[in-house]
A and B are shown apart, each in its own frame.
Chain A
Amino acid sequence: MNVAVTKKLKVATTSLAGCFGCHTSFLDIDERLFDLLQLVEFDRSPLTDIKRIGACDIGIVEGGLCNAENVHVLRDFRSNCKVLIAIGACAINGGLPAQRNHLSLPLILQEVYHTSVGLANGLIPNDPELPLPLAKVRPLHEVVKIDYFIPGCPPSADAIWKALTDILAGREPALGHGLIHYD
């Protein structure tokens, strides 16, 4: 174990249709971040503010897929990361955004921009720069191959730490009782 780590693993993170709660929970590993930084360096991530992903060893993706840009970013992560980790309920099962899935998208847009209380018959945003919403919100594994999953809404800092240290050590991540949660 005394062999010096010559090359740090590159890690990228992003939040798609998520709330950044998983990133916040990740930061809750607190001083263990220093231990982690002995082993990894961050590439594209809200923590570094790097906007474009390079070749990485590990990608950590929070949030599900609710629009075309989410799919684009996810595919970008998949093609640049050797190992891709889905973190949190939204990435794993669509989560809160997927609660719209039993409603039709046109009806939702009508409700939000035309008929709901407090809006003076606004326009449905249609700037070409805006990514188009998907008809249904999808979890990540339905679009690309996901190697590992860390469930929770959000997963606790201890659960994230356990899963990450398992993965970094080359073990299948296992969260025992008290760490595995879907809520």
Chain B
Amino acid sequence: MSSSFTLDGRTIEFAEGQTIMQAALAAGVYIPHLCYHPEFKPHGSCKLCTVTVGGRQTASCTTLAQAGMVVESDTPALNDERRTLTEMLFVEGNHFCPSCEKSGDCKLQATAYDLGMMSAHFDHFFPSRPVDASHPDVLLDFNRCILCSLCVRASRDVDAKNVFALSGRGIRTHLIVNAKSGRLADTDVALDDKALQVCPVGAILRKHKGFSVPIGRRVFDLKPVSAYVDASAAIGKERP
């Protein structure tokens, strides 16, 4: 038996135990998100999926749907806040799109485009974060990490390897690699690990595959992130 709630005035059916995000995606309705991925337990950290339920803000990826809820998502006020969150992600790291192989396939970039982010607004941190190029087949560029924890969840829950973790707290939170040396080359990560397929940005990149799909024909060149509803499958797809 299914119940329903309304999302921006539209009736959304849901099954018991589904979150607002799950029900919305199943109904083909886009709610902006970066740390959510349908195959993993929600993390609720990026806050881009924030909606209002009865006027109160909550993360739609961690809030269970309930019958009769009145949910608002696509409002100017919420989209302004989402744009601000996205701007903060851009200034906290080093997101230099012209030099990034992920450009055009990047969920952060596509989400910023979709929200109409014309500049990052805030002062740039320009943090110093050396890359880890130790692994022969994988590049780990911490400059682009947005701490979504998808690689952490994939490595823990699917690969059962715990190669990645988030360390530190607050603004000092950062991605670490589970090896005494701290280098990716000294872990048992393997190329077909789920952890290497789920990065929404250009932090984890396959080497030797650069520009196999030219700029202009990439996932978000074809259509905007909102038109995919959930772009996880499209950006995780192995390229020819």
Contacts and interface: CB of A to CB of B under 8 A. Distances in A.
Interface of A: 86, 89, 92-96, 98-99, 101-102, 136, 138-139, 141-142, 146, 148-151, 153, 173-175, 177-178, 180-183
A94 B124 contact: yes
Contacts of A99: 96, 99
Interface in B116-141: 116, 118-121, 123-124, 126-129
Contacts of A95: 96, 98
A95 B119 CA distance: 12
A148 to B, nearest CB: 7
B189 to A, nearest CB: 26
A150 B103 contact: no
Contacts of B40: none
Nearest to A92: B119
B191 interface: no
Given A89-B98, A93-B96, A183-B97, A139 B124 contact: yes
A149 B120 CA distance: 10
Contacts of B100: 183
A149 B119 contact: yes
Nearest to B129: A102
Contact of A93 (B119, B127, B129): B119
Contacts of A153: 97-98
B30 interface: no
